[in-house]
């Protein structure tokens, strides 16, 4: 990074000193201190919409009451209990905080003589003005070298794309150099409405995965309106994504596409939530190459999108879905999702594996304080995604962003079981995870519906498209155990030690990897390495 870039970065941080965030920075699945309280609360909290709104969470539980450690030293108290730097105006109408961020990780596969590593340095800035304007920004400069199966995935995705991150440049001997940044500004004029303009990612659902919209892909620009009224939370979001064209002219931007999403979550009772989801992806240009741009027919936030899309000629990729959450007794949660791309009733009745029956299903269960042991929790879920789900006949309208799926990181044509056992004691976090995946793998020159970025008209068969039936079967087992100690809850700074065992069976070949990792990091976002 040269002198001008350093000056620009310093100015960015100075300007960002006026920022304070509204949304929860606990986005990582392994560190969800609020979940047990919002899921078991008698209030109509909308747990499926993430990240959480902290003003709503604070009505149920406070971060300081969960993890505060009384210390006499102001310096130690700042390091262990508070934001590293904070400021509040005397009039109490302006606040901002600054915290360091990063991930310093080393890993090694047993039997390998070379270490893998991640070196990430960053900063997080939040601010609030008059308790109506909230701002957030974070920036990470990252270098890494993966020596395990993660590097195979990077090569599989292509363009040096790091999962959950962006494209990377080559760095020294086998390393990668890339950056990660997200930010938003939100205006909350009342308890009913919130308007947010940002660059980031989102998650809809109560599970570890989401088959509707997950935080798997790289960040993207968006504008979001959230409406809270009665027992309903209604989210509208318009976002811009990009796709990778081939061949691509050097020094030109990748082509873009647009997305509109509506999600309504209704707390029918304090133990039942039902959600309705719809989304449309459309291209910047039409099939003749004419500029189309933003489709103003999709601007209305309260209209049903499918009839509108049909009236303008059905040129776009439409999906519709349902979500549900059922709380049994005090702490037993059943949840699920259904997403439909397209289907024909007669073909479903025939049970003949018709390629066009594209849908995805999720079913899960989580419970807290099992066997009467405080903070001992279990979660298990199953995800089932039909072949060709999320794909389209145009590469500009697949449900993905920058070579990464916008929903499940596995793409399509698979089923998966994933389970967790978690235990929390004060600031100690323990997690054991087991995952089993069966999926189809395309072979050279074939399209059996696994890769959502392949055009579905290149399919290899009209019928018989059941999961992993026609394709080469791929089976993966993934086991991970880790222990973490949270140093500072305000930026989730922690020390983590973990052990991962991954085994893959593909084309009569067994590949098994056993690796350990040790990290000092601020664990804020989800980066999915269980593939």
CA distance 510 to 234: 47
Q: Would you say residue 504 lies in a domain?
A: yes
Q: What is the pLDDT of residues 79-117, one digit of tens each?
A: 888 888 888 888 878 998 999 999 999 999 998 888 899
Q: What pLDDT score does 20 carry?
A: 40
Q: Would you say residue 528 lies in a domain?
A: no
Q: Would you say residue 49 lies in a domain?
A: yes
Q: Would you say residue 116 lies in a domain?
A: yes
Q: Would you say residue 530 lies in a domain?
A: no
Q: Would you say residue 130 lies in a domain?
A: yes
* Cβ–Cβ under 8 Å, residues 161 and 168: yes
Total domain count, the chain: 1
Phi and psi, residue 470, nearest 5°: -80, -35
Task: Please tell me the pTM assigned to this model.
Answer: 0.89
Q: Would you say residue 40 lies in a domain?
A: yes
* Cβ–Cβ under 8 Å, residues 519 and 492: no
Residue 160 sits in a domain whose CATH number is: 2.40.160.10
* Average pLDDT for the chain: 87
Q: What pLDDT score does 452 carry?
A: 92
Q: What is the pLDDT of residues 216-228, one digit of tens each?
A: 999 999 999 999 9
CA distance 24 to 137: 13
CA distance 429 to 486: 8
Q: Which residue has the higher pLDDT, 455 or 65?
A: 455
Q: E-assigned strands of 130-219?
A: 133-145, 169-171, 175-187, 193-200, 203-204
Range of the domain at 418: 3-522
**Is the pLDDT confidence value at 10 over 50?**
no
Burial class, 64, CB count within 10 angstroms (exposed 0-12 / middle 13-18 / buried 19+): exposed
Q: What is the pLDDT of residues 38-49, one digit of tens each?
A: 888 887 889 999
Percent of the chain with pLDDT over 90: 51
Q: Would you say residue 531 lies in a domain?
A: no
Q: What pLDDT score does 135 carry?
A: 93
């Amino acid at each position: 990074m040269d002198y001008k870039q350093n000056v620009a970065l310093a100015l960015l941080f100075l300007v960002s000193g006026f920022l304070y965030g509204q949304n929860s920075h606990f986005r990582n699945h392994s560190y969800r201190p609020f979940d047990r309280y919002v899921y078991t609360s008698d209030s109509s909290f909308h747990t499926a919409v993430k990240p959480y709104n902290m003003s709503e969470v604070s009505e149920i539980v406070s971060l300081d009451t969960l993890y505060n450690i009384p210390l006499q030293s102001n310096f130690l108290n700042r390091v262990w209990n508070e934001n590293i730097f904070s400021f509040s105006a005397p009039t109490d109408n302006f606040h901002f905080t600054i915290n360091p961020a990063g991930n310093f990780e080393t890993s090694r596969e047993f039997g390998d003589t070379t270490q893998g590593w991640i070196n990430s340095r960053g900063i997080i800035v939040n601010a609030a003005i008059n308790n109506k304007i909230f701002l957030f920004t974070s920036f990470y400069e990252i270098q890494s070298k993966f020596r395990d199966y993660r590097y195979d995935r990077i090569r599989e995705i292509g363009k040096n794309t790091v999962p959950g991150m962006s494209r990377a440049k080559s760095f020294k001997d086998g390393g990668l150099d890339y950056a990660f940044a997200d930010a938003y500004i939100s205006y909350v004029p009342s308890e009913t409405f919130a308007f947010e303009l940002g660059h980031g990612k989102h998650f809809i659902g109560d599970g570890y995965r989401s088959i509707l919209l997950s935080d798997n892909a790289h960040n993207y620009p968006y504008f979001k309106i959230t409406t809270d009224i009665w027992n309903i939370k209604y989210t509208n979001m318009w976002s811009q994504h990009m796709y990778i064209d081939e061949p691509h002219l050097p020094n030109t931007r990748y082509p873009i596409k647009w997305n509109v999403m509506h999600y309504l979550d209704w707390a029918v009772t304090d133990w039942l939530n039902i959600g309705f989801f719809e989304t449309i992806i459309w291209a910047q240009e039409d099939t003749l190459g004419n500029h189309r741009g933003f489709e103003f027919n999709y601007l209305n936030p309260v209209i049903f999108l499918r009839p509108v899309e049909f009236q303008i000629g059905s040129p776009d990729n439409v999906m519709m879905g349902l979500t549900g959450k059922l709380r049994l007794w005090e702490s037993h949660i059943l949840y699920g999702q259904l997403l439909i791309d397209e289907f024909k009733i007669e073909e479903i009745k025939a049970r003949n594996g018709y390629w066009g029956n594209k849908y995805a299903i999720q079913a899960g269960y989580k419970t807290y304080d099992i066997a009467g042991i405080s903070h001992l929790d279990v979660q298990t879920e199953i995800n089932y995604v039909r072949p060709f789900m999320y794909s389209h006949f145009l590469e500009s309208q697949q449900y993905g962003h920058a070579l990464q799926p916008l929903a499940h990181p596995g793409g399509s044509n698979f089923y998966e079981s994933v389970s967790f056992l978690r235990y929390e004691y004060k600031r100690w976090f323990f997690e054991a995870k087991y995952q089993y995946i069966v999926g189809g793998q395309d072979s050279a020159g074939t399209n059996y519906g696994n890769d959502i970025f392949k055009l579905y008209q290149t399919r290899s068969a009209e019928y018989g498209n059941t999961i992993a039936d026609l394709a080469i079967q791929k089976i993966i087992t993934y086991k991970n155990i880790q222990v973490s100690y949270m140093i500072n809850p305000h930026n989730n700074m922690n020390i983590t030690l973990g052990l991962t065992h991954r085994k893959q069976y593909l084309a009569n070949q067994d590949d098994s990897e056993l690796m350990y990792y040790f990290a000092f990091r601020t664990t804020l976002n989800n980066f999915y390495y269980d593939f």
